A and B are shown apart, each in its own frame.
Chain A
């Protein structure tokens, strides 16, 4: 007998479906199981398994590295470890992009289950984010290899990486949940999001350092970039992991703590919006599908 079954013999009100119904224990059990089974399915279901997840970021990395060091010569002049910065940016942003785009139709794709079983709805988008996080973990192994290959010295600030990851994961989870539930009502969310994600890719210092000079007189758009929470997170990762003296921290790039306020507001706003919209829509997902 499971813990809940034996003692709950008194009448309890049934309140219908919700984002988190059924208790935290069940929620996390289900989340973990769904994410791990999906992860296993991808890795053991294809011949090359792990290799496939590496090919995409590595191809992109190869092309961009060639273009930005050989053709435009941006990277190599301004940044000490441009290839590592580029790869790390691609991998981290790739997590955000892949998790959110696959989360968009996750709820709709699970239509059969949603319409016919009762379980916490929030598990669906979050499990795709968690699966993406497992992927990220594997891809980071390659990043670490590059870090050593390019002679970056280990520093104690590497230990701060999990802090950045928590922010990145939270942001991804919030965006994914909101998108998945909006897609139930508005099917063009999927198309819009592909475009928005593409814009975000260029609006985040991945290809170029945040200090990149946009005009001849040497002005930069780093203040502007720091409105984007993703840019803040990635820039801080660069500072902590690569420990480059010329790379400004997120606070410096934003021109002081006050400059980070817009990004913080967007971050908190997105999280609040995701919680609100998912809670509002969760009870009706089964009906709207």
Chain B
């Protein structure tokens, strides 16, 4: 299935970037290998070690990274993309000196600030002031330097009056603000960021986005690890797709994005699309606009039209088409179900080809959605067709809201009469 990039999805700030390839190297990785020993029988106590002295060798080797080489130039915004278990987090932890590589070399220029997770070094029992100083030193500043920058951190996080409050009394929003402003003030040359863009409310995300652009403008090197293609395409100069511990593609974010989506389709079981003994064949599936032309994305609030073309392999008395909408996080958003041919459903003859369009009111938030398609026999029962990831589409728009969907609403207000 072709996956093209939607131009409307790009940020307007792109274009005339200086060519990063002329800049000196910030990170150089050569032939990196890392494997983990997964014990099949974990020896957790001394007793087991004594009772079964040789059982420590019960493990299997898991090659998380298998010969990774790449270079990142100074001032580049570099994306690392991959599915869960692809090795991208392992790579990040190797870059951040949390794991040690089995072989290969990592070279880095300048000071590194690893943000595997925002605010991870925070101690809830300590005040914001103490936490900022402690974390600043952890990230390589001197205590004096950190204390000097404390005011800036607190100011940016808008936490002035709460500076001596213990973090356990902070709201999650306050914590994120504190962590993010600390990251900015630490002023490292290389930043490693893992999925932080996904946190916080719309205003905070905007602040993050602005800060990233400022950091980029200031010549910082930023490595972003994510599985959210939208942020890769919005921020990154180059991106790298990792699968099974190897680099699948390195280059333009858009190309990496489309390869990543293709990878998602090729999950085991989805190949060929149909279940064993399917009696209906799927010819095509996709999103269409009001005129019936194929589209890959739809604006927030605009109706969604899912079109599927099928061919019956035998006679059917009645069929129903069903869809399961899954969002980028793997959450089942909703199920759609309708009899084919209206009510009562029409009888279908062997060899007959049908085009079915299902129009859905679009209450979905912006994001990437995958659709599993299925066709059931209504009277006899049983599955005639079941296609995992039959199609996918993007809902774009700026009305970011919490939650998966935004439902139409009506609010009425009446004053409550006082009783007695």
The interface of chain A, by Cβ under 8 A from chain B, is 1-5, 8-17, 21-22, 25-26, 29-30, 32-34, 37, 40-41, 45, 112-113, 115-119, 186-189, 192, 283-284, 286-287
Contacts and interface: CB of A to CB of B under 8 A. Distances in A.
Contacts of A112: 120
Interface in B89-105: 93-101, 105
A15 B32 CA distance: 12
A30 B137 contact: yes
A25 B142 contact: yes
A113 B139 CA distance: 12
B185 to A, nearest CB: 12
Contacts of B101: 16
Contacts of A192: 46
B204 to A, nearest CB: 21
Contacts of A1: 187
Contacts of A37: 123, 126, 130, 134
Give the top 10 A-B pairs by smallest Cβ distance, nearest first. A16-B100, A118-B97, A11-B107, A283-B100, A14-B106, A116-B116, A5-B111, A116-B120, A188-B45, A286-B98
Contacts of B94: 14, 16
B108 A15 contact: no
A1 B106 CA distance: 24
B120 A33 contact: no
- Per DSSP, chain A at the interface is helix
A224 B105 CA distance: 53
Most chain A CB within 10 A, of B44, B46, B112, B126, is at B46
Given A112-B120, A113-B120, A188 B98 contact: no
Interface size class of B (residues with CB under 8 A): 35 or more
Contacts of A186: 44-46, 49
B99 A117 contact: no
Contacts of A9: 24, 109-110, 189
A11 B190 CA distance: 12
Nearest to B101: A16
Contact of A189 (B46, B109, B145): B46
A17 B111 contact: no
A10 B99 CA distance: 22
Interface in B139-180: 139-143, 145
Contact of B109 (A8, A34, A187): A8
A30 B47 CA distance: 36
Interface string B178-200: 00000000011100000000000
Contacts of A41: 125-126
Interface in B24-45: 24-25, 28, 36, 44-45
Contacts of B286: none
B319 interface: no
Contacts of B98: 16-17, 115-118, 286
